[in-house]
Structure 1
């Protein structure tokens, strides 16, 4: 069986100049769009180096947050699900990414109204797909998403992250079939029974949104103590600068839709 972190295809979208107007729950400053583009290009290069063929979609100026393609859709080897992002300014992104998904997948499902679900609240685990309730993912959307996952042969499980967590994956990421990286707050929430949990180093909570891709863990640059914890556990760590990305409440998982496509 192919591991849930084994990928050979990905879809990304280049950041728009309008990204300076992107959503920010915490004001870390206005992103430098040119630097954001450089970070995005380095991210694509990292995926390609790890064996992923990347399809790059053009920027969408009318949608400042559209570089974060993970929120309007989910993809699996079995098919794709078009989501309904919880932020009103992002709801139109689903229709924009739909053609690329219909070209790549034979089975593309729609999440029905009126519920909402963001891909940033969805964590694919070996035995289940976790769906975290948040300000962007409501109970109706989560329940409907469980039903759509069943149609693709996947089991969904709805969880409630700690208060104050923007997205489920803001505070955690899968490192391998038995190990999670998580902030101390997320680690204490009891959402991952049976998993070994590696906590982010003090002051490096933003490192929790890492991304396991094939044989390596992509980690934001600037989190040296968390990187050391992972290398001490024999993980291969590849660091990617995401200073501008983080100004938009985002991280490494947000910028791509990834799946394993059978030859």
Structure 2
């Protein structure tokens, strides 16, 4: 009679992570300051240090370069202190550029400035939007689908505009917490089929959609979301995020990613961090 052998379930193997080199656009915080308040993070009475902001920004740029990414730089314009947040300047998919139309008058001149840069840089498929959208702040590509935020900045009517222009399905997600006023403050794309997000930032219906689409997503805790840990950039292996988001760093490492902590505390005074400073061109 054959001996009985117990079998032990083995843990599922981690997926192999591979970094993908990207072409990125950034804007130096030469004129960075907090002189108005358009989100809860901004306090014009709290001092800012443009020199520190520039140093932290340069460290982020150098980190991208060291990881094999290419970085192009758009010249900042005086009087536009938030222009450093390049992610808001446009949305780019397959070389097609959807311009940004900002909700607050303090930032409206940024949209044309970024679109001019694309036109001068040889991009030929450009669309000046009919409806308000704040670029990659509220549009994040996951594989061949777009996630689109609304609730505080981007007009939900722009979702159909983006779907028609890019020819990709767009899934709308509603943000409900003013501290997380852009999608990229509440959700980060990690790979073509993986995300991490903070459930409490979304409406009940949007949370249900995210659970359906990404049942194995990394869920951020309040303390990591509060330090902008989800305002992150991933190349498929390396995930750049605020170094204070220790819980997310641990979860990312468990999933086989290489989390890289970054310090951008000065720019956080205006409600921005890693992803806000980074527009993906390709």
- Alignment CA distance shift 1:85-1:108 (3 Å): farther
Please tell me whether the aligned partners of residues 81 and 110 of structure 1 are also in contact (alpha carbons under 8 angstroms): yes
Q: 2:245 aligns with which of 198, 223, 232?
A: 223
Distance 1:106 1:42, change over 3 A: same
- Whole-Å Cα distance in 2 between the matches of residues 81 and 132 of structure 1? 15
Please list, as runs of the form range in 1=range in 2, the aligned pairs for 1:1-263 lying within 5 A after superposition.
6-21=20-35, 23-26=37-40, 27=42, 29-113=46-130, 115-119=131-135, 120-150=137-167, 154-164=168-178, 165-186=180-201, 189-192=207-210, 193-195=212-214, 196-205=216-225, 206-260=228-282
CA distance in 1, matches of 2:20, 2:184: 18
Dislocated runs of 4+, deviation >3 Å: 27-30, 103-106, 162-165
Q: Is the 8 A contact 2:87 2:279 kept in 1?
A: yes
Give distance in 2, aligned partners of 1:216 and 1:112. Answer: 33
Partner Cα separation in structure 2 for residue 6 and residue 259 of structure 1: 13
Q: Aligned partners of 1:172 and 1:225: how far apart in 2?
A: 15
What RMSD, in angstroms, separates the aligned Cα atoms of the two structures?
A: 2.3
Q: Per-residue displacement from partner, 1:12-47 (whole Å, max 9, x unpaired)?
A: 111133423254522464432111111110111111
Q: Could you tell me how far 1:217 is from its partner in structure 2? A: 0.5
Q: Which structure has the larger Rg? A: 2
Is this contact kept in 1: 2:31–2:79, CA < 8 A?
no
1:18/1:64 contact within 8 Å kept: yes
How many residue pairs get aligned? The number is 253
1:106 is paired with a residue whose SS is coil
TM-score, with length taken from structure 1: 0.86
Deviation, 1:74, is 1.0
Distance in 2 between the 1:177 and 1:142 partners? 20
Instruction: Provide the rounded CA distance (Å) in 1 between the counterparts of 2:27 and 2:123.
Output: 21
Question: TM-score scaled to structure 2, two decimals?
Answer: 0.81
